[in-house]
A and B are shown apart, each in its own frame.
Chain A
């Protein structure tokens, strides 16, 4: 096993060991010790990930000055697991495979997950110190880290699916950690059920894939279905056709799983409720890692998505990001604000996947993980300081009391707002710009595709995120100002606020990561090299193929090129076409960048929106209360505050449908069935009156006669009925013995 794969496997297994140790010994270890043990294991995991990153980037692993695999590129290690019938696997005939696939993306994800998990562990030692189930919390965290890391390292579809479900289970356990609270256990169930809805789609997609290809490893999947991006039917090597429609359904089905995990519209309802879990859990699961699993999955299935599936993904992402950002503006619970901002940012990532910005989506995933973990842990620190008060109207003026938290929180707000001056900024700046740039390029592309007209509804996929790029800084600044600025609105709470070093040390580390995460630590370069590695596996550029129109426009030079694309083995697009494509893409991206600059007011959008947010909420609710007096604003605010009534809508549609059906069937029962039964009953009564006469004279006579006979027989037979079982057996045996002996004597004597 190559060194990075070995190190990463150890990094996967260490949290599992921690889980097992804590399951059996956690209670005995007690309050601080169990936390230290859990933290130690996950820190070991972080060390392994760091070592793996260094070996990955060691001089042997550079390619054109960029990080590139371990010497020869990504590591594929499918392993035999369960022996089953033939034809279910590409690599090992007759076996279901699990296995490892490591590329630059895996390495980056590992570093991010273990890093944030370690910080969350440290934070939890302080935050959960008064909880009576302290050891169990770390047990669950260990299991969660194991499942998440197992998901990221997974090399076959089956492997992915197993860990995918494990992650879902852990989120259920952790959201419902305070299960005494009815709301918490309800939220856990809601999260689980909503995820099941998504996973149902995932299973359908997985089933379609499995039917055609068996349990493929990821690279095999890309190789075999690499021409999916063109939107044509694919002829499989073993005969059989994978039709384009089925490919689209498969892509959308798999994306449904991602929708559940990444809480995309319309399956987003669980994430805000999931804030019932302990705050470190929110930071770990619902900001940085688990919800990222959906985006990660999108990244892994990206090469096999058809254009239609991608469009669907983009629309879902766009809807989510718009809706969530609007709702976030009106929330009063600090964690709910963060939850909706998470939804919104996840919408950005999903949109990025849909418009073909693979790098942008995953880059934003990493940077978002840093600053969102910071925001959540910061809110945890605030909540801890405020004795578990989460409502913004109760805060105010906390900056002096908890300065470190306040400043790190502000840094995170800058990062999520996309703070950047003259091409330099915090981490969110780079990733969000990349996504917007691609979205604009996608808009231009759709213009080319549209017939004659110059504008197209697909431009919404650019304008929505661009407008939301103004909304995001506004509501984040609102949240910060209401918490840390102005006069204290609850004097008692303000007087008792304090912060602990064990709580703010992780915040400082994350603040540094949020500042430099975009540019200096090579995240983007790693993800770009992951893209190159995936292209190398497939043997062609699947990422520009995300834009089929480019292919069509630029590919006129190479006649019969689509036919060649159907056979990946022989697909070697003409070099001229390739260059033309690249040039076209570059031009589009430049146009897109320009468009984005215009839309974001030359890069000052963050300043305008943040300034507005600060000014409006500088004195608490004074100004906003006045604005709320205007009826339409108030109506919109109520609408947003109640989360656009999605829960009520779902209740109406799903619960209402069931109730309606129940009502209909009950009515049917009462009118039709009861009617039949009742008329049958009256008919019976009439008949029975007639029969009764017969009964009285004929039957009774017969019965009484029979009874008399039976009685006399019974009297005769009752004497040998002693009730003693053994006597019965003895008599039985005697009879059998005598008859067998007699029969044998008769037979033999003949």
Chain B
């Protein structure tokens, strides 16, 4: 019995479970002995670093929450994926690790069986999506293998579906089909592409004029987070008034306190990133090793900055209009009775930039601007709706920042509230969609152009 208890203790410890996941991946990928030891240890330590960063971040978020509620009489939320996922690990750590490992397997199986041969390699987004499904299903009381399997089916099929849906746009952007979009802001990117195609002219590209280089420091996520948080903390410190802030600071100077808390927030996010980076840096190579052996012709779906070099100016324009969209939407949240979503700079930069590139490919300058704006509106309203499906975590002053986390979370949460049967149906719908989309829509396949070319040359040889 003691051994069983020991085993159970080990397996319910999230850091060890993630470490086991890395261990299995590295062994299957036939990594060398030193690589297996380093990879497994670093993954476990990465997870412990993640927890430490989360504690620092909570310390900085608490006073901000009070300042916002005192200043505006509202619940204010800064969507930061890293933060909410780190917080979710306290209650759903083991579930998240289990779903993540199984979701990779589901992705590989679907890529093998359907015509949508995409392998999603943005490991941190798989981690976040796994945490999201664990939370939205888990808060309704569903647990154990049911939670693991449904969570993995939902996460794994979204890992195939989203790159597929973005593929027609990616063909326009990269002028080829070697890489797919593997980032969970894809709903907003496609919306940006569609709106862009309506409002602008793709021939008038953003890349024909120059944007000052002085804005490019926002690419450094630590700097952009720090600058944005300084602005946010100082604004709400002013709104809440010195009396409230001095009380929070335990009698210290309120402005110094606000500045230090803002920078502590940035520090916490960075520490969490160090942890996530350690985990992902070990798991992704193992996973790529496995997938390249099992599914040779699969197309890798990669993180959003992969499209930035195709239109760097569109990235800056998309970022700017995305923040603008977020600020404009913020005005409507209060009157609609929704929580106040404060623009988080990291999601706005990366997804706004991606939306700018998609908008530019379909509608040039105006397309990029409109695309960024649409992204900003979506990642403000969707996270606000998502909050009600996150149980106690919904009161943590932070939430998921990107469009796909929001829509998947909202639908999954809605289904989960109605009962476990509906979660199973929802998971089955997503899996079925991978098969059906692959059969019905040739443009969503990764080899559409190649097949077109083949068909054309075959027709030619017949005619000749």
Co-complex (A, B): no
